[in-house]
C-alpha cells in the first residue's frame, strides 16, 4: 500500500515503516556523534519505550552508554491493508540497530499497568539481562485498568476550581482561537491521578525489588513537565498537575524503599517538545509553537533526543552534580524557563493571532515534528513506494 499521513484531530492514524526507521536511525546518529557517556548505566528498563522521551532514553542508554535495554510498550500491530502504530515500527528499528551494534535489545508488548507485564519483565530480566541499574518510567496513556481493583480509570485534562478561557491553537487549520475549559470534578481529578500519577511507578519498583532483579546503586527516573505559568491553568494547576504532584510523592516512597540497595528515585522535569500526548493538551501547542520560535532564533532549541542526551550526559553520568530543585527533582527545563526565553514568549502571547502566527510562532516546525513522530517528512524516504505494512512479518 502507499502510506500517507491521515490526521484526525490530534492523532495520525497511519505510520510509515521506513519513515519510522529513519526517525530512529536519525536519533541514533545524533547520539553517536556526541560520543560515549561515561556512566555505570549498563542494564536499563524503559517503561513506555516506543516513542517520545521513552524511545530517546532507550536510544541514549544503548548508543550513548552501551547499555543492554529492555523496552515495554503497548502497540497495535499492522494488517495487510492497515499500518501498525508508529511505536510498533520504532521498536523493530531500534532492535535491529542495537543488535547490529552488538547491544542486547528486547521489547515486550502489552499493558504496562498489568501485573502480567511486570511478571514478564522479571522473567525476561532473569533469563537474559541480569540485574537492572536504571528504570525509566515514561508512560503516556489516557486510561489505566487498575491491577488490584480491576477498575478502569480515564484521565481528564481539565482545570480545577472554575472554568477557564484561554488561547489555543488548531494545529491542522493553523488557527488561533479561544477555548472554554470546564473544571474537573473530584472523581475526574482522582481518575487522572490514578492514570498519570505515581502509583504504577511504585508498583513497578516494588515488583522488581521483590523479585531481586535490581542492582546495588539502582536508580529510577519518572519524567514530568512543569512548564510556564502561561500553561498552568490547564497543566500544573489542573488535573495534570495533581497527577504530576503524585509523582513527587511516589519518588519519596520509592527512594525510602531502595535504601538497602543504595538506590534512589527522582522525577526529571523536561522541556516542552512535540509528542502525541502533548499535542492533545489544549493551549500547549500554541505555547510550544511560540517557545520553539524563540528558542530557535536564539540557537537554544533542543529536539527530543538532544534533550535526553543532555540529561544522561550532565545528570546521570559518573561524577556529575545533579541540578536539583527544592523538591529534589532533576531540572532539565533550565533553558526553557530562563527569564530571557520566557520574557519573549510572554511578550508574544497576548499579541499572537491567526494572522501573525507565522511571524511570531513556529507552527510549521511543530507540524514537522508531529509528522516525524509517525515517520513522515524525511527526505530520504520515498513516500510513493508500495509497501507491505507488516514488513513481511507474521502478525
Angle 52-65/304-311 helices, nearest 10 degrees? 50
Q: Which helix (H) or strand (E) holds 330?
A: strand 330-331
Cα separation, 27 vs 33, in Å, equals: 10
User: Strand 264-269 vs strand 143-145: parallel, antiparallel, or unpaired?
Assistant: unpaired
Is residue 134 within 8 Å of 44, Cβ to Cβ? yes
The CA distance from 278 to 66, in Å, is: 30
Q: Which of 30, 104, 235, 287 is catalytic?
A: 235
Cα-Cα-Cα-Cα dihedral sign, residues 29, 31, 36, 41: negative
For 321, counting Cβ atoms within 10 Å of its Cβ (0-12 exposed, 13-18 middle, 19+ buried), the class is exposed
> Is residue 235 among the annotated active site residues?
yes
Describe the chain by its helix, strand, coil percentages, rounded to 5: 40, 20, 40
Length of the chain: 395
Catalytic residues: 235
Amino acid at each position: 500500500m502507499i502510506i500517507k499521513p491521515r490526521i484526525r484531530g490530534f492523532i495520525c492514524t497511519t505510520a510509515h515503516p521506513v519513515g519510522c526507521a529513519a526517525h530512529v536511525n536519525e536519533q541514533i546518529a545524533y547520539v553517536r556523534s556526541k560520543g560515549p557517556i561515561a556512566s555505570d548505566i549498563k542494564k536499563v528498563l524503559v517503561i513506555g519505550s516506543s516513542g517520545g522521551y521513552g524511545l530517546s532514553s532507550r536510544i541514549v542508554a544503548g548508543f550513548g552508554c552501551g547499555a543492554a535495554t529492555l523496552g515495554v510498550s503497548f502497540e497495535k500491530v499492522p494488517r495487510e491493508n492497515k499500518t501498525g502504530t508508529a511505536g510498533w515500527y520504532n521498536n523493530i528499528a531500534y532492535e535491529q540497530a542495537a543488535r547490529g551494534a552488538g547491544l542486547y535489545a528486547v521489547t515486550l508488548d502489552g499493558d504496562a499497568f498489568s501485573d502480567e507485564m511486570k511478571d514478564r519483565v522479571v522473567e525476561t530480566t532473569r533469563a537474559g539481562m541480569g540485574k537492572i541499574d536504571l528504570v525509566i518510567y515514561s508512560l503516556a496513556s489516557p486510561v489505566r485498568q487498575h491491577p488490584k481493583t480491576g477498575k478502569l480509570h480515564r484521565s481528564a485534562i481539565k482545570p480545577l476550581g472554575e472554568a477557564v478561557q484561554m488561547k489555543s491553537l488548531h494545529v491542522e487549520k493553523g488557527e488561533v482561537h479561544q477555548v472554554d475549559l470546564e473544571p474537573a470534578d473530584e472523581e475526574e481529578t482522582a481518575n487522572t491521578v490514578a492514570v498519570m500519577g505515581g502509583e504504577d511507578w511504585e508498583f513497578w519498583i516494588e515488583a522488581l525489588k521483590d523479585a531481586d532483579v535490581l542492582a546495588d546503586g539502582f536508580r529510577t527516573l519518572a519524567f514530568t513537565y512543569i512548564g510556564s505559568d502561561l500553561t498552568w491553568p490547564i497543566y500544573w494547576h489542573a488535573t495534570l498537575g495533581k497527577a504530576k504532584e503524585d509523582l513527587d510523592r511516589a519518588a519519596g516512597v520509592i527512594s525510602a524503599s531502595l535504601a538497602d540497595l543504595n538506590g534512589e528515585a527522582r522525577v526529571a522535569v523536561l522541556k516542552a517538545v512535540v509528542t502525541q500526548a502533548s499535542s492533545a493538551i489544549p493551549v500547549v501547542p500554541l505555547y510550544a509553537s511560540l517557545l520553539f520560535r524563540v528558542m530557535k532564533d536564539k540557537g537554544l532549541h533542543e529536539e527530543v533526543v538532544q534533550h535526553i542526551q543532555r540529561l544522561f550526559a550532565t545528570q546521570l553520568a559518573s561524577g556529575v552534580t545533579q541540578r536539583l530543585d527544592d523538591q529534589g527533582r532533576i531540572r532539565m527545563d533550565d533553558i526553557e524557563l530562563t527569564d530571557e526565553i520566557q520574557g519573549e514568549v510572554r511578550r508574544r502571547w497576548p499579541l499572537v493571532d491567526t494572522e501573525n502566527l507565522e511571524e511570531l510562532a513556529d507552527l510549521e516546525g511543530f507540524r514537522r515534528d508531529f509528522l516525524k513522530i509517525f515517520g513522515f517528512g524525511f527526505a530520504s524516504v520515498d513516500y510513493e513506494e508500495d509497501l507491505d505494512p507488516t514488513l513481511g512479518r507474521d502478525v
